[in-house]
Copies of this chain bind each other. A is one copy, B any other.
Amino acid sequence: MYNPYMALDEQRKKAYASLLISHSVVTKLIDRRLKEAGVVGIEVYDVLLALEEAPEQRLRMSDIADRIVISRSGITRLADRLAHEGLLERLACPMDRRSIYAVLTPKGMSERERAWPVYRQAIQDYFGRHMTSEEAQVLYQVLGRIVTEEAETITPATCESFKS
C-alpha cells in the first residue's frame, strides 16, 4: 500500500535517513579504494561507461549531464578535465552545430576497463554483500521507481538514461 497523499510516517522517514547516510558511507569507501588502486573515481567511471554504451561511443554534453545528474556548467568543466587526461575528445556535431559530442578515446575505454574489477569488488564488499537477492530486488524496484517517476521533474532525459 503506497501512501501518496498521506503524511510522512516514521517508517518512511527512517528509510529516507538510511538512504542519505548509506550513500555517504558507501561512496566514500568505494572512492577511497578506487583512489588507492590508482584508477578513475565513481563520477568519471559513470561518464566513461555512458560513452562506451552509447552509439559510436559518443554523447552530447547535455545528455551526459542529464545522465549523471550534474549541471550544464558542471559537465563542461568535467569534460575539460577528462579531455585533458586524454579520456575523451570533443567533436563538433554536424547535425546541430550548437551541440558538441564527447567521444570516448581508446585510452578512455582502457581506463574504464582497468577500473572495473576494482570497482566491482568494492561494490560487492561495501554494498552487495550486506543484502539477500530478494532485498537487492526490492532496492532496485523502489529506488528505480523513484528515478523514473521523479527524474523528469529535473530533466526529461534523466529517466531515459537510467534504463540503460
For the complex, what is the distance from the CA of A97 to the CA of B68, rounded to whole Å? 45
Chain B residues within 8 Å of A136, by CB: 11-12, 14-15
Q: How many residues of A contact B (CB 8 A)?
A: 64
A54 CB–B CB distance under 8 Å: no
- A8 contacts B123, C-beta separation under 8 Å: yes
For the complex, what is the distance from the CA of A150 to the CA of B122, rounded to whole Å? 12
A72 CB–B CB distance under 8 Å: no
For the complex, what is the distance from the CA of A49 to the CA of B9, rounded to whole Å? 18
Chain B nearest Cβ from A113, distance in angstroms: 16
Query: Which of A55-63, A80-88, A141-149 lies at the binding interface?
Result: A141-149
Contact status of A146 and B127, CB under 8 A, knowing A28-B154, A29-B154, A139-B18: yes
A92 CB–B CB distance under 8 Å: no
- A22 contacts B147, C-beta separation under 8 Å: yes
Protomer copies: 2
Q: Give the nearest-CB partner of A137 in chain B.
A: B11
Cβ-defined partner of A130 (8 Å) among B123, B126, B129, B146: B146
Question: Can you sample 10 A-B contacts with CB below 8 Å?
Answer: A3-B129, A7-B120, A13-B128, A15-B131, A19-B127, A22-B147, A24-B69, A25-B154, A29-B150, A127-B146
Q: Sorted from nearest, which 10 A-B pairs have the closest CB atoms?
A: A18-B143, A12-B128, A24-B69, A22-B143, A8-B124, A15-B139, A15-B136, A23-B23, A15-B140, A4-B129
A residues in contact (CB < 8 Å) with B:
1-9, 11-29, 42, 46, 68-69, 120-121, 123-124, 126-133, 135-147, 149-151, 153-154, 158, 162
